[in-house]
Amino acid sequence: MRVITADEIDGLLTFPDLIEALRSAFAADFVTPPRQHLEIGHGAAAATALIMPSWTGDAPGPGAFLGTKLVNVFPANGARGLPAVLGTYVLMSGETGAPLAAIDGTRLTHWRTAAASGLAASYLARPDANRLAMVGAGALAPFLIRAHASQRPISDVAIWNHRAERAEKLVEELGQQGITARYESDLERAVRTADVISCATLSNLPLVKGAWLRPGMHLDLVGAFNLQMREADDEAVRASDLFIDTPGALIEGGDIALALKAGTISQDDIRADLADLTRGRHPGRDSSEAVTLFKSIGSALEDLAAAILVWRKAGGEG
């Protein structure tokens, strides 16, 4: 069994390739059971373990794959100088069940999560969207910026973070990668002047206000992974055409699930998920004036598609 590191993943993947792999996977018949959530501890030190399986079809055979991601979410890790999300992905043959690779699950998650947002933006962001506001400067932020820039002509990137020093450091890191970005201290100004707003935070209170949104915007909500978290307020949800990655977003994560629970919206307000978009059952953005909102909670299907792409680009068979 091969071990594939984070650095190797970074050298193998590009967002255009990965987004197309996800597009194909959502349009296919991958089997993805509900993920298991295991709560570990209570209070400020609480953590979550996730077990996320998926496979490429109902029948084993040549060229088939299955895999499982084991993820630990420890929100307090930031104070330790560690990522909040850590994990391992095990890719296996769908024909024999033999293990093929152990892949750095944290890096795989960064790539596939950002690619899902890029995939959604390819249907939902205006074709001329060129101003991106990145809300949050954690580990996912640089991946989301690159994913959106791969799908739309992004020429202005503003980064807001509740700790200014982290945002400023990210601006510097992006500059070293040839990506021009700037720190924005005023969240409202960052949102109001953007075409695409991407949020990847662990906020317990809404950050993006509906009053700040204007026609034509696209709002990408990636954080708020449990029902105690929010990234956008009820007004923002009500004002938007709503899209989700998978039906799990109706019950998991903040924003959409909480708005449904409170009666702010109904399930009839959800326009489509990524399977609907990739299979042509919904066209996505239907006017230049619409405000679109995409809520992502992540899916093991995305992990498997990304792992297969990594395996093949690394020279693996199948």
Handedness of CA 52, 120, 118, 229 (dihedral sign): negative
Query: 3-class secondary structure for 34-50?
Result: CCEEEEECCHHHCEEEE
What pTM, to 2 d.p., does this model score? 0.92
Q: What pLDDT, on a 0 to 100 scale, did the predictor assign at position 60?
A: 66
Max Cα–Cα distance, the chain, nearest Å: 55
Q: pLDDT digits over 55-70, tens only?
A: 997 666 668 999 999 9
Query: Domains of the chain, with CATH numbers?
Result: 2-108+300-313 (3.30.1780.10), 126-295 (3.40.50.720)
pLDDT along the chain (318 residues), means of 10: 96 98 94 89 81 84 88 86 88 94 95 98 98 96 98 97 95 93 97 98 94 97 89 95 96 91 94 97 96 96 97 86
CA separation (Å) from 67 to 57, 199, 309? Answer: 12, 28, 13
Q: Looking at residue 318, what is its pLDDT?
A: 58
Q: Which residues contact 194 (CB under 8 A, 6 or more apart)?
A: 131, 132, 133, 158, 217
**Which stretch of DSSP H or E encloses residue 124?**
helix 105-124
pLDDT of residue 238: 94
Provide the 10 A C-beta neighbour count for residue 10.
13
